Structure formats: structure tokens, C-alpha cells
């Protein structure tokens, strides 16, 4: 085989791989947009007292068994940002967005946006 034939075959394979990645990425983007729309629809603003925050595995946290079963397998192996907070009289463990986790102050009253058991944003906090 000539060198230019090998080059054409390699370019064809690269083009096919890029086309597959394009369509898979497009499909995943639609799925993510649908999930984001559902989160925006479900969110509500609540005042919480942040007791503790740490990154740990889902199975090591004290989240309900139903929530642990719904988490995808690839996320069960990762350390997730978890926040232990007091919402009204009840102390619960909440999942948190990575950006929000970095900004969230400990031992403070914070007004946050929550969708289910997921903290998606900080409105403000009292110092």
C-alpha cells in the first residue's frame, strides 16, 4: 500500500469517529437540557442552616436508600459534594452543585434554591 492510501483510510476513520461523537453529543445535550428544564420547574427558595459540608461517596452518606438507588452507577464511585443542613426542625443531607459547594458557608443561615434534595444555587446568606 502506498502512503497516500493509508492516509486516506486514517482520515476516513477519523471523520467517522468525529461524526459519531457529534451525534452522540447532540443527543446528550438534548437530554441535559430536558433535565435542566425539570430542575428549574421544581426549584424553590428555602432558608437553611448549614451544619457541615464534605465530599464523600453516596453509599457512605446517610441519604435514603431510594435516592442511592436512583443515582447512576458512575456517580456512585465518585465523591459527591454533600451538605448536612437544618431545614426547619429537620436535619437532612442534601446533594449540592459543585460551584455552590465551594461558596456555601458553614454554620450560617443561607437562602438557597433547592430542587428536591439538590442545592442548585445560593440567593444570599446572613453573616
Q: Are residues 68 and 109 in the same domain?
A: yes
Q: Are residues 60 and 101 in the same domain?
A: yes
Q: Are residues 30 and 51 in the same domain?
A: no
Q: Are residues 57 and 28 in the same domain?
A: no
The pLDDT tens digits along the chain (127 residues) read 899 999 999 999 999 999 999 999 999 999 999 988 988 888 899 999 999 999 998 888 888 888 888 888 888 888 999 999 999 899 999 999 899 999 999 998 999 999 988 899 998 766 5
Q: Are residues 66 and 83 in the same domain?
A: yes
CA distance 48 to 86: 6
CA distance 61 to 77: 13
Q: Are residues 56 and 36 in the same domain?
A: no
Q: Are residues 90 and 102 in the same domain?
A: yes
- Into how many domains does the chain fold? 2
Q: Which domain holds residue 36?
A: 1-42
Amino acid at each position: 500500500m502506498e502512503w497516500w492510501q493509508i492516509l486516506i483510510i486514517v482520515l476516513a476513520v477519523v471523520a467517522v469517529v468525529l461524526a459519531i461523537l457529534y451525534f452522540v453529543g447532540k443527543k446528550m445535550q438534548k437530554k441535559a437540557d430536558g433535565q435542566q428544564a425539570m430542575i428549574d420547574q421544581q426549584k424553590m427558595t428555602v432558608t437553611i442552616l448549614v451544619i457541615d459540608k464534605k465530599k464523600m461517596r453516596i453509599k457512605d452518606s446517610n441519604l435514603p436508600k431510594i435516592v442511592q438507588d436512583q443515582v447512576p452507577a458512575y456517580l456512585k464511585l465518585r465523591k459527591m459534594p454533600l451538605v448536612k443542613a437544618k431545614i426547619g426542625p429537620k436535619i437532612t443531607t442534601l446533594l449540592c452543585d459543585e460551584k455552590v459547594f465551594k461558596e456555601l458557608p458553614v454554620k450560617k443561615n443561607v437562602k438557597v434554591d433547592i430542587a428536591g434534595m439538590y442545592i442548585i444555587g445560593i440567593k444570599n446568606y446572613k453573616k
